[in-house]
Amino acid sequence: MKKRSFLPLLLMVVLVLSAFAPAMAEEVIKIGGIGVLSGPYAQYGIACKEGMDLYIDQLNASGGVLGKQVEFIWEDTEADVTKAINAFNKLVDNDGVVAILGAVLSGETKVVAEFSETIGIPQITPSSTAYDVTTGRPNVFRTCFLDPVQAVAIARYVAEEGYKSPAVLYDKATEYSKGLYDSFTAECEAQGIPVVAAESAAYGDVDYKTQLTTIKNANPDCVFLPYYGSDAAMILAQAKELGLDVKFFGADGIADIVDVVSDKELLVDLEYTDHFSIGAQNEMAVKFVEDYKEKYGKDPAISFSATGYDAALVLFSAIEKAGTTDYQAVVDAIKATDLNAVSGSIKFDDHNDPIKSIFFQSFDNQGNKVFVKQLDP
């Protein structure tokens, strides 16, 4: 029997597939995600990614964007800036993404922003609050508010609630705490309620009683604590021991205090600012919480899940509006954003920071978060 050669047939198949490959590739829009998914800060990156994944799943289910499905490619930085740079290069050079969602932590976001600015690719971080992330980078945006914004909001809220004699306990050696302190005290002066006592104690201290005693002797009616949860938990416990029975206020860094405080009763007199609240009553927020619980079987306890969802919303709304994935066209469309989002209405100022809502939250005596108020811009 004469043997037939299959080589011509194989060549024909290869040629046909090659002809269709570009068209097939064009049916997918690739977006890169960069952020920490492992290690001690993984919870923040996971929250961001879960919010983004939820939005993109919903977008694809409704037909995608510009008539195409979205492929979301995420790279774990492990909170390492070198890995963040490598992730950016891989996503842009190898995967061909047309925009970046991330990064998560401020340090990794800064280095990614340096690289993204050189080529102008759109980048939106859901969680980096460092001011200079967007400075001089017209292609870089964020969907979280900045530290000075929440400090000013806290001071105004304190004044609106009728407090007259605020005090502050802060860490003067830490950028986060010192920055919040500076903005808070300046706005208190502007509101006509000057700070009656300001004491400093370092993060990681275990004894705050000297500073708290000085504050108590100044007879404040509330105390601002720009600390993270573990320090704030000790401060609240020692304040109770000293009989400092006043209202306490914190910023977004204090949100995890419920995980480290043993006496949940201490939390009843604490209110703090956050990027989102599961108790928010606007239609998009309610639906987001329902959809998130359905997909992940849990509440969106970390607010960056909401700002992650909103980062994706802003990006794909801009791509749809631009009618293209051209870098500059999408950047221009992001800049012109005026959306109702999960975490409130979003517009961008001249520094590419969002003009958006701030949420005040508290706790019940079981440690459950309680929505207090939403301040819209």
pLDDT tens-digit readout, 248-265:
999 998 988 988 899 999
- Architecture of the domain spanning 148-274: 3-Layer(aba) Sandwich (3.40)
Task: Answer whether 88's CB lies under 8 Å from 49's CB.
Answer: no
- Span 214-230, pLDDT tens digits: 999 999 999 999 998 88
196, amino acid identity: V
- Span 277-290, pLDDT tens digits: 999 888 999 999 99
- Span 123-166, pLDDT tens digits: 999 999 888 999 999 999 999 999 899 999 999 999 999 999 99
Spacing of C-alpha 356 from chain mean position:
12
- Superfamily covering domain 23-145+281-356: Response regulator (3.40.50.2300)
For 26, 191, 269, 355, the CA distances from 126, given in Å and listed in that order, are 27, 31, 29, 14
The answer, as to whether pTM is greater than 0.95, is: no
Domain with CATH 3.40.50.2300 in the chain: 23-145+281-356, 148-274
Where helices occur in 62-160 by DSSP H, the ranges are 81-89, 106-119, 147-160
Cα within 13 Å of Cα(88), Cβ side: 25
Could you check whether the bond before residue 103 is cis, i.e. omega within 30 degrees of 0?
yes
Which residues are paired to 373 by β-bridges? 360
Name the 3-class secondary structure at 369. strand
